[in-house]
Amino acid sequence: MGSFTLMVVTAHPDDEALGLGGTLARYAAEGCDVYVVAATRGEAGQIFEPDAATPITLPRVREQELRCACQTYGIHPPIFLDYPDGLLPLVHQGQAVGKLVRLIRRLRPQVVITFGPDGIYGHFDHIAVHWWTITAVDLAADPDWFADEPGEERDPHQVDKLYYRVVAEEQLEMMAQNGRPAAVMRDGVPFRFVGWKQEQITTVIDVSDYVEAKLQGIRCHLTQIGRQSPFFTAPEMVTLAPWFREENFVLARSTVGWPEGVEDDLLAGLRGGRD
Ligand SMILES: [Zn+2]
């Protein structure tokens, strides 16, 4: 138990839920140590349930929502980087990378998951987190960087596999509404989701045994989804939908080779000799 460690780096407290929740629950159930790192407490988010938070309480409420979700998935409590929501491209980039290098060296994950360069729908916070994470994965392995840290956090650590969590083109077709492509409204205009082609997706995780944990994790983020969403009003429909039962990833870095076909396991290539 606990022989593998997975670390997920996100921007906002609900970023893990829809695309990753099943995967987190699945690897936790296998006995892996699973951590979610959120760069912000999501205080710039909307409030879909007025009785759940006010603009003043939102960061504290969203922190609790992510704690609730992590508990539901059976993973470690979340780690927050304490940056302001909506401003990640403007914060001190070196400091942010340094925070992640220290975390990688402390937690020593074999697998790191973050956003791809698309940021799912071009969200600047997601794109900033993407660049921080890929930079930190490289520097964490390099003894020349951040060598003056105290204690064990100084020892370099090589992450074996770095993944991007992505949305498949086919999933986007299912998400389209009234013939319009799936998009997120930002400052009054729609930002389209970026779909990845089937041949680009290296890894598909079957989470059909974990849809209940995934659903409950999503429900923890009440301020962001609201009680009128299908996650509350039509849970059976959601959990039976094919798009809900598979989570897609792109393997971006690997020290253990590359899959010939599509992988069905984030730990493929790592398990030999450790189980
Ligand atoms: Zn986000």
Q: What percent of the chain has pLDDT over 90?
A: 86
Q: Is the pLDDT of residue 176 over 70?
A: yes
Q: Is the pLDDT of residue 275 over 60?
A: no
Q: Is the pLDDT of residue 152 over 70?
A: no
pLDDT at residue number 192:
93
Distance from Cα 42 to the centre of ligand 1, integer Å: 8
Q: Give the mean model confidence (pLDDT) for residues 113-133.
A: 97
pLDDT at residue number 43:
96
Q: Where are the domains of the chain?
A: 5-254
Lowest mean pLDDT among 137-141, 166-170, 181-185: 181-185
Closest CA to 19 of 117, 157, 116: 116
Distance from Cα 13 to the centre of ligand 1, integer Å: 7
Q: Give the mean model confidence (pLDDT) for residues 74-97.
A: 98
Distance from Cα 12 to the centre of ligand 1, integer Å: 5
Distance from Cα 83 to the centre of ligand 1, integer Å: 13
Using only C-alpha atoms, what is the Rg of the chain?
18
Distance from Cα 55 to the centre of ligand 1, integer Å: 18
Distance from Cα 144 to the centre of ligand 1, integer Å: 32
Which pTM was predicted? Answer: 0.95
Distance from Cα 15 to the centre of ligand 1, integer Å: 5
Q: Is the pLDDT of residue 67 over 90?
A: yes
In CATH terms, the fold of domain 5-254 is Rossmann fold (3.40.50)
- Note whether 238 and 190 are within 8 A (CB): no
Q: Give the mean model confidence (pLDDT) for residues 198-223.
A: 97
Q: Give the mean model confidence (pLDDT) for residues 170-199.
A: 88
